[in-house]
């Protein structure tokens, strides 16, 4: 187990190193000099040079890459060109919106998908199964930002149960904050729930064919009991994989949803920073998202190996 | 013929048909503004209503289908064009360093949140249909590489491949002449799925203003236009939204149906 974990950790570090290099290169080749962008077209050449020196833009690319990566390892994400505040602080503030939103959506998605998938699997081929599967086909086809607009139309504009956008802030209490995240979380969760329900159903159906399920039935358990007691646990591996992947979808999907609801999260930070050529912020936020995805997948891999010894031997 | 295939095929054909007809005929000129007739709900003259400039939404949806399909087709083309050769190469060198490098590279691309990178690419290199295509296409490469490799590996172990090798054919020739035809079904199904994902991705990019630029109509941008007007003209959001859903649903059903039709073994396994 330890050897497997170390091997996976090594490939995690290599992935992170390459990812940081790719992000740095992509953003470096971007047209537009942040200094001249900040000072406008009438700036004097010596003022520009001074600002470039202050921002560290006069160093070589290698020096700047190493400074960026070195800083991030120590929790220093650099200083925003635009606001002159530490990027780590800006990200920290925004994370308090984006992360709860992603988690909220993940919980909702699980709460919808698990019962739906189990229900469909237990009614295989019957009307209930066909109904759930038809609903998931439509759920997968719905763009989440469109669904978000429809939620706003129905629950904010017509019924006035929720506000149409904006974030109440955690200072105004957990209830108010969660309430302003509810519509965005539903919009994010539904298409993901559709995928998850399908995976849940097919994983359960695979397990149902196993010998130990027949044994469980032979011991006198009903189909439903056998499914809950023995089937579910064994079906969790593919379901966990998808859950891990969905976390990254939810973080990234949140970027668009934040636009719909005017939420001050990482997504809006990225868009604002791109248009202001605040490259250091764009670099760091992107790296943070990639980091989150890679680390979550790493954790999921380790979780499997801990649960299922067969996987350790295979790699 | 199964019902999924027929329904999916019909919905997909409907969208392609609308896009093709739009080259020769639309009810109105899709760029023609008629301010007095703005924000009309669907009626006999404007079947899908009009937008905030009084443009006919039915015509815009028809022309917008062209944009969606063009972006998705080219993006899938990029994925197949680069991903399939890489996958074949990796499978031919199974376990070797080529295989290792290709597959680890794939894993790496998978680790990037695709939407974030697509936003980054289009934002940095300029918004527009071409950059949107590239951004979506890049993420199709590892998908096709992985599917190709996964499909090719078991075939490499088959006896007719051994026979081909004994006959003196090299790995490249075997890959093209024997492996590729045997995994074509797999690739067709995957292409359908990626096609529908491409439509969704294009809509998302256009929605945030990074896809096709005006005056090229696109469904995503129609939704962005609708956002502030949704309370007074809900049809502006409903119409493009339904167009996207019908297209994606049709393609997904087509993919499922094709998988069943092309591979009878899967039909049994999937029950």
Segment of A126-130, A170-174, A303-307, B30-34 carrying the highest mean pLDDT: A126-130
Local structure of A262: helix, strand or coil: coil
| Best residue of B15, B116, B232 to probe chain A, by most A CBs closer than 10 Å | B116
Nearest CA in chain B to A21: B108
pLDDT greater than 60 at residue B269: no
Confidence band for A315, pLDDT divided at 50, 70 and 90: very low
pLDDT of residue B196: 92
Residues of A within 8 A of B208 (CB-CB) are 256, 259, 271
Separation between Cα atoms, residue A61 and residue B7, nearest integer Å: 55
Contacts of B176 (CB under 8 A, 6+ apart): B88
At how many degrees (to 10) do helices B235-262 and B3-24 cross? 130
Shortest Cα distance, chain A CAs vs residue B46, angstroms:
23
pLDDT of residue B145: 92
Q: Is the alpha carbon torsion for B160, B161, B162, B163 positive or negative?
A: positive
Cβ(A301)–Cβ(A12) under 8 Å? no
Cβ(A302)–Cβ(A5) under 8 Å? yes
Question: Where do we find the tokens 């953003």?
Answer: A27
Nearest CA in chain B to A11: B104
Confidence band for B46, pLDDT divided at 50, 70 and 90: confident
Token pair for residue A77? 């994400």
Separation between Cα atoms, residue B201 and residue A276, nearest integer Å: 24
Please report the beta strands in A50-205, taking only residues with DSSP state E, as ranges in sequence order.
Answer: none
**How distant, in Å, are the alpha carbons of A216, A217, A288, A290, A293 from that of B111?**
39, 41, 12, 6, 6
pLDDT in tens, B222-240: 999 888 888 888 999 999 9
A290 to B121: CB separation less than 8 angstroms, yes or no: no
Shortest Cα distance, chain B CAs vs residue A144, angstroms:
9
Cβ(A133)–Cβ(A201) under 8 Å? yes
pLDDT of residue B82: 95
pLDDT in tens, B100-140: 888 888 877 877 777 777 777 777 777 788 888 888 898 89
Cis peptide before B215 (omega within 30 of 0): yes
Rounded mean pLDDT of A151-173? 86
The answer for A 14-33 residues in CB contact with B (under 8 A) is 14-15, 18-19, 22, 26-27, 29-31
In this predicted structure, which of A43-47, A48-52, B154-158, B266-270 has the lowest mean pLDDT? B266-270
Q: Which residues of B touch A (CB under 8 A)?
A: 104, 107-108, 111-117, 119-121, 123-125, 196, 200, 203-204, 207-208, 223, 226-227, 230-231, 234, 237, 240-241, 244-246, 248-249, 252-253, 270-271
Cβ(A162)–Cβ(A179) under 8 Å? yes
- pTM (2 decimals)? 0.85
The answer for A 264-283 residues in CB contact with B (under 8 A) is 270-271, 274-275, 282
Confidence band for B72, pLDDT divided at 50, 70 and 90: very high
Shortest Cα distance, chain B CAs vs residue A307, angstroms:
23
Q: Is the alpha carbon torsion for B95, B99, B104, B106 positive or negative?
A: negative
Residue A256 has its nearest CB partner, among B125, B207, B231, at B207
Residues of B within 8 A of A251 (CB-CB) are 113
Please write down the HEC assignment for all residues of chain B.
Answer: CCHHHHHHHHHHHHHHHHHHHHHHCCCCCCCCCCHHHCCCCCCCCCCCCECCCCCEHHHHHHHHHHHHHHHHHHHHHHHHHHHHHHHHHHHHCCCCHHHHHHHHHHHHHHHCCHHHHHHHHHHHHCCCHHHHHHHHHHHHHHHHHHHHHHHHHHHHCCHHHHHHHHCCCCHHHHHHHHHHHHHHHHHHHHHHHHHHHHHHHHHHHHHCCCCCCCCCCCHHHHHHHHHCCCCCCCHHHHHHHHHHHHHHHHHHHHHHHHHHHHCHHHHHHHC
Q: What are phi and psi of B108, to 5 degrees?
A: -65, -45
Q: What ipTM was predicted for this assembly?
A: 0.87
A26 to B200: CB separation less than 8 angstroms, yes or no: no
Shortest Cα distance, chain A CAs vs residue B3, angstroms:
13
Token pair for residue A106? 């993940």
| Best residue of A18, A26, A143 to probe chain B, by most B CBs closer than 10 Å | A143
Segment of A33-42, A198-207, B116-125 carrying the highest mean pLDDT: A198-207
First to last CA, chain B: 17
């Amino acid at each position: 187990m330890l050897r497997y974990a170390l091997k996976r950790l090594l490939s995690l570090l290599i992935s992170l190193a390459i990812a940081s290099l790719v992000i740095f290169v992509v953003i470096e080749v971007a047209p537009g000099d942040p200094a001249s962008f900040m000072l406008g077209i009438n700036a004097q050449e010596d003022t520009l040079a001074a600002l470039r020196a202050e921002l560290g833009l006069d160093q070589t690319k290698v020096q700047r890459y190493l400074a960026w990566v070195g800083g991030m390892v120590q929790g220093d994400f650099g200083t925003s060109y635009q606001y002159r505040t530490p990027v780590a602080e800006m990200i920290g503030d925004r994370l308090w919106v984006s992360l709860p939103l992603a988690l909220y959506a993940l919980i909702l998605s699980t709460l919808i998908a698990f019962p739906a998938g189990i229900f469909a699997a237990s009614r295989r081929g019957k009307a209930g199964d066909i109904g759930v599967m038809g609903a998931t086909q439509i759920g997968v086809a719905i763009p989440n930002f469109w669904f978000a607009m429809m939620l706003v139309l129905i629950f904010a504009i017509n019924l006035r149960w929720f506000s149409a956008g904006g974030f109440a802030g955690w200072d105004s209490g957990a209830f108010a904050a969660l309430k302003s995240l509810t519509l965005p979380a539903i919009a994010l969760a539904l298409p993901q729930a559709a995928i998850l329900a399908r995976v849940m159903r097919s994983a359960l159906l695979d397990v149902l064919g196993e010998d130990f399920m027949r044994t469980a039935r032979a011991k006198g358990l009903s189909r439903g009991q056998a499914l809950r007691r023995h089937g579910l646990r064994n079906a969790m591996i593919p379901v966990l994989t998808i859950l891990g992947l969905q976390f990254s979808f939810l973080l990234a999907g949140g970027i668009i949803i934040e636009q719909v609801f005017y939420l001050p999260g990482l997504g809006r930070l990225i868009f604002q920073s791109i248009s202001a050529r605040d490259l250091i912020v764009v670099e760091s936020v992107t790296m943070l998202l990639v980091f989150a995805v890679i680390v979550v997948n790493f954790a999921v891999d380790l979780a499997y190996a801990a649960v299922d010894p067969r996987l350790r031997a295979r790699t | 013929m199964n019902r999924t295939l027929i329904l999916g095929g019909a919905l997909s054909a409907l969208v392609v048909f609308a896009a093709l007809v739009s080259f020769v005929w639309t009810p109105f000129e899709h760029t023609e503004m008629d301010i007095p007739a703005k924000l009309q709900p669907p009626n006999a003259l404007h079947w899908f209503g009009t937008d905030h400039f009084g443009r006919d939404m039915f015509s815009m949806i028809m022309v917008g289908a062209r944009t969606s399909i063009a972006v998705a087709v080219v993006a899938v083309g990029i994925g197949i064009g680069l991903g399939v050769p890489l996958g074949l190469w990796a499978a031919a060198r199974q376990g070797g360093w080529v295989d290792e490098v290709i597959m680890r590279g794939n894993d790496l691309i998978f680790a990037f949140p695709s939407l974030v990178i697509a936003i980054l690419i289009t934002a940095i290199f300029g918004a527009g249909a071409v950059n949107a295509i590239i951004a979506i296409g890049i993420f199709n490469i590892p998908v096709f590489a992985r599917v190709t490799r996964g499909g090719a590996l078991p075939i490499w172990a088959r006896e007719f491949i051994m026979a081909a090798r004994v006959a003196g054919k090299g790995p490249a020739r075997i890959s093209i002449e024997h492996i590729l035809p045997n995994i074509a079904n797999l690739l067709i199904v995957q292409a359908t799925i990626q096609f529908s994902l491409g439509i969704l991705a294009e809509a998302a990019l256009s929605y945030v203003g990074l896809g096709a630029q005006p005056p090229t109509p696109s469904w995503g941008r129609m939704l962005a236009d609708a956002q502030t007007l949704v309370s007074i003209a809900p049809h502006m959001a409903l119409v493009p939204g339904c167009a996207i859903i019908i297209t994606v649903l049709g393609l997904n059903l087509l993919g499922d149906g094709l998988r069943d039709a092309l591979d009878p073994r899967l039909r049994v396994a999937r029950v």
